[in-house]
Amino acid sequence: MKPTQAVCFYDASPDASDLRREVLAGLSAKPKAIPPKFFYDQRGSELFDAICQLPEYYQTRTEMGILRRCVNELAEHIGPECLVVELGSGASKKVRLLLSELRPSGYLGIDISKEFLLASTHRLANDYPWLEVHAACIDFSHHLDVPRCEAFGPRLAFFPGSSIGNFEPGEAVRLLSRVAELVGPQGHLLIGVDLKKDIRLLNAAYNDAKGITAAFNRNLLQRIQSELDSDFDAASFEHYAFFNPIEGRIEMHLVSSRAQSIRIEDRLFEFHAGETIHTENSYKYTIAEFGRLAQQAGFAQDVVWTDPARMFSVQLLRAL
């Protein structure tokens, strides 16, 4: 059997009590909402990986095309021997496009989905034996206290997938401020940011013909059923996603197809027919809007790369 490379693992994974607390609070709120980070159990991570292959989901292939084209210029800005810290590293596929040119000495993948993170970082360590690979299972919406990796050179945070769009703009500024602290003055953040565009393209990307995004959305209910004591019919909730032009975001919801009450632990939650659980936002920005947001978090927007159709951007931000 092929020997496996070691991955230094730091485990601060949220436990079932976090899921319980946030689900009960979210369903007690008006309107009802559950944070999107709970999509990502093992099955949720696998479904997201499947979404990335869909023809409607332009984000992944467009961002990967930009990364392939910008990597030489990026390497000139950053220099060798840096530490790459990837937020929401998932399958750790996009970072592979950077490694040969960038030649970092260390990689730290951060993700909330523990088993998926461990499998992805082990694969990365095996495929790049010259790279020191670390993994940290933490919820970065709460903190970014990562293990000390002092041995490395400058820090480059990497936050692809437009995951920053899942945060309300104020929360996004707070998260990026923590990233600015993590990389230190003159450290960098390479971030994927989805851009405002034709509403039909946006709506199609979150309503794919094969129904994978619907399965991903519904998996949240299946996760609640498997991890919390509950009694409800997950099939009575439908996937619903649309672009809200006033807020500048895709909204994803689970719609109750009938009036019903659902039990989770010792609590009952009433739904009227058509009432929704708001499960995700995905904010879309113009380059100027995102530059202002980055500035509020203490970053300068040094370089912005886009695809020819300006669907997506990869931005190199520098901490001031």
Ligand X SMILES: C[S@@+](CC[C@H](N)C(=O)[O-])C[C@H]1O[C@@H](n2cnc3c(N)ncnc32)[C@H](O)[C@@H]1O
* CA proximity to 218, closest of 203, 240, 239: 239
Helix (H) or strand (E) holding 269: strand 267-271
For ligand X, which stretch binds (CB under 6 A), given 89-97, 100-108, 238-246, 264-272? Answer: 89-97
Residue of 64, 82, 108, 113 that binds ligand X (CB under 6 A):
113
- Show the site string, 283-312: x = touches ligand X by CB under 6 A, - = not: ------------------------------
Q: In the complex, what is the shortest distance from the CB of residue 113 to ligand X, in angstroms, rounded to a whole number?
A: 4
Residue of 32, 37, 188, 218 that binds ligand X (CB under 6 A):
37
- Tell whether residue 220 is a contact of ligand X (CB under 6 A): no
Q: In the complex, what is the shortest distance from the CB of residue 52 to ligand X, in angstroms, rounded to a whole number?
A: 6
Comparison of 23 and 112: residue with beta carbon closer to ligand X:
112
Q: How far does CA 78 lie from the centroid of its chain?
A: 23
Q: How far is CA 206 from CA 93, 99, 152, 290, in A?
A: 21, 30, 39, 22
Residue of 94, 188, 223, 239 that binds ligand X (CB under 6 A):
94
Query: Cis ω on the peptide bond leading into residue 31 (within 30° of 0)?
Result: yes
Comparison of 109 and 232: residue with beta carbon closer to ligand X:
109
- Tell whether residue 163 is a contact of ligand X (CB under 6 A): yes
Comparison of 216 and 271: residue with beta carbon closer to ligand X:
216
**What region, left, alpha or beta, does residue 81 occupy, with left being phi > 0 and alpha being psi -120 to 50 degrees?**
left
Comparison of 39 and 271: residue with beta carbon closer to ligand X:
39
- Tell whether residue 139 is a contact of ligand X (CB under 6 A): yes
* DSSP code at position 65: H
Task: Please name the residues in contact with 211: beta carbons below 8 A apart, sequence gap of 6 or more.
Answer: 239
Residue of 57, 140, 232, 299 that binds ligand X (CB under 6 A):
140
- Tell whether residue 212 is a contact of ligand X (CB under 6 A): no
Residue of 74, 85, 98, 111 that binds ligand X (CB under 6 A):
111
Q: Where are the beta strands (DSSP E) in 175-248?
A: 188-194, 230-231, 237-244
Residue of 40, 58, 167, 216 that binds ligand X (CB under 6 A):
40
* CA proximity to 105, closest of 160, 159, 158, 154: 154
- Tell whether residue 141 is a contact of ligand X (CB under 6 A): yes
Structure tokens that stand for 170 in this block: 């104020």
Comparison of 62 and 301: residue with beta carbon closer to ligand X:
62
**Site residues (CB under 6 A) for ligand X?**
37, 40, 45, 48, 52, 60, 88-90, 94, 110-113, 139-141, 160-161, 163
